[in-house]
A and B are shown apart, each in its own frame.
Chain A
Amino acid sequence: MDNATKLGIPKKMTDAISDQHEQFMRLLAKHEPVVRAYVRTGVYSAQDVAEVMQDVSVVAWRKFDQLEDHSGFGKWMTMIARYEIMKFRQTKARDRLVLDDEIIDKILQEGGEETSLREAWIEAIEGCLAKLPPRHRTLLLEAYEPGSSIKNLAARTKKNPNSLYQTLHRLRGRIANCIESEMAYE
Chain B
Amino acid sequence: MMNDVDNLIGSYFDGTLSPEQKGAIEELLTQSPEARQRFRLLATIEDGLVERALKFTPAEIQTPPSPPALKETDRVLSWRPLAAAITGLVIGALSATVLWAQSTPKVPRLERIHIPLSDPGFEEINTPIPTVIPRVFNRWNGDPSHTVSSGDSIVKPKEGEFMLKMLPVEDRKYSRIEQIVDVGHLVPAKGGRITFSASVICAGADRQSKTILVLRSFNMDFREISGSREKLQEQVTCETRRTVFSSPGSTEWLTGELTMDLPENTKTLVFEIAAVDLPKASSESSRYIDDIKAEIVVTPPNEFQQ
Using a CB–CB distance below 8 Å, which chain A residues touch chain B?
Answer: 2-4, 7-10, 13-14, 17, 21-22, 24-26, 28-29, 33, 36-37, 39-41, 44-47, 49-51, 53-54, 57-58, 61, 92, 97, 99-100, 103, 106-107, 110-111, 114, 118, 121-122, 125-126, 129, 138, 140-150, 152, 165-166, 168-170, 172-173, 175-177, 179-180
Partner of A37, one of B17, B26, B48, B130: B48
Q: In the complex the two chains form, is B173's CB within 8 Å of A176's CB?
A: no
* A166/B44 contact (C-beta < 8 A), A14-B229, A44-B15, A50-B79 known: no
Q: Kindly identify which residue among B60, B130, B138 contacts A141, using a CB–CB cutoff of 8 Å.
A: B60
Bits for B1-36, please: 1 = Cβ < 8 Å to A, else 0. 011001100111011110100100110011001001
9 A-B pairs, CB-CB below 8 angstroms?
A29-B226, A49-B47, A49-B50, A50-B138, A110-B37, A114-B37, A140-B49, A141-B49, A175-B45
CA distance A41 to B49 in the complex (A): 14
Report the minimal beta-carbon distance from A168 to chain B, rounded to whole angstroms.
Answer: 7
A-B contact count (CB 8 A): 215
> Given contacts A22-B228, A25-B227, A99-B25, are A122 and B48 in contact (CB under 8 A)?
yes
Is there an interface contact between A147 and B80, defined as CB atoms closer than 8 Å?
Answer: yes
- If over half of A's interface residues share one DSSP class (helix, strand or loop), that class is named, otherwise mixed; here it is helix
- Chain B nearest CB, measured from A129 CB (Å): 7
Interface-side segment among B81-89, B92-100, B293-301: B81-89
Chain B residues with CB below 8 A from A141, complex form: 49, 52-53, 56, 60
| B274 contacts chain A at the CB level, 8 A cutoff | yes
Residues of B within 8 A of A114 (CB): 37, 40
Q: Which of B15, B37, B78 contacts A146 (CB 8 A)?
A: B78
**Nearest CB of A to B114, in Å:** 12
- The CA-CA distance from A118 to B116 in the complex, in Å, is 32
Given the interface contacts A107-B29, A110-B36, does A146 sit within 8 Å of B80 by beta carbon? yes
Task: Establish whether residues A110 and B45, one from each chain, have CB atoms under 8 Å apart when the complex forms.
Answer: no
Among B10, B212, B226, contact of A168 (Cβ-Cβ < 8 Å) = B10
Name the B residues within 8 Å of A40 (CB-CB): 43-44, 46-47
Bound CA–CA A120/B76 (angstroms): 33
A118 neighbours in B (Cβ, 8 Å): 40, 44
Question: Which residues of B are found within 8 Å of A47, using beta-carbon distances?
Answer: 78-79
Determine if A14 and B53 form an interchain contact, defined as CB atoms under 8 angstroms apart. Answer: no
Cβ-defined contact, B47 with A61, below 8 A = no
Check B74 for interface membership: any CB of A closer than 8 A.
yes
- A45 vs B243: C-alpha distance when bound (angstroms): 39
Distance of B180 from chain A, by nearest CB (Å):
13
Least Cβ distance of A147 to chain B in Å? 4
Contact A25 B134 (CB under 8 A): yes
Given that A44-B15, A54-B130, A176-B45 are known contacts, is A144 also in contact with B52, CB under 8 Å in the complex?
Answer: yes
Check A99 against B45 for contact (C-beta < 8 Å).
no
Q: Which residues of A contact B226 (CB under 8 A)?
A: 21-22, 25-26, 29
Closest-by-CB residue of A relative to B35 is: A107
Q: Which residue of B lies closest to A149 (CB)?
A: B76
A28–B134 CB distance below 8 A = yes
Contacting residues, chain A, for B136 (C-beta < 8 A): 50, 53-54, 57
Please give, as numbers and ranges, the residues of chain A lying within 8 Å of B276 by CB-CB distance. 8
Q: Which of A33, A49, A57, A145 contacts B56 (CB 8 A)?
A: A145
Q: Tell me the smallest distance from the CB of B88 to a CB of chain A, in Å.
A: 11
For A39, list chain B residues within 8 Å (CB). Answer: 47
A123 to B26, CA, bound (A): 29
Known: A17-B228, A17-B229, A172-B10. A29 touches B40 (CB 8 A): no
Q: With A17-B227, A25-B226, A142-B61 given, is the CB distance from A176 to B53 under 8 Å?
A: no
Chain A residues whose CB sits within 8 angstroms of the CB of B41 once the complex forms: 121, 176, 179-180
- 7 residue pairs, one from A and one from B, having the closest CB atoms: A146-B83, A146-B80, A169-B10, A144-B53, A173-B6, A40-B47, A125-B48
Q: Which residues of A contact B29 (CB under 8 A)?
A: 99, 103, 106-107
B78 lies within 8 A of A97 (CB):
no
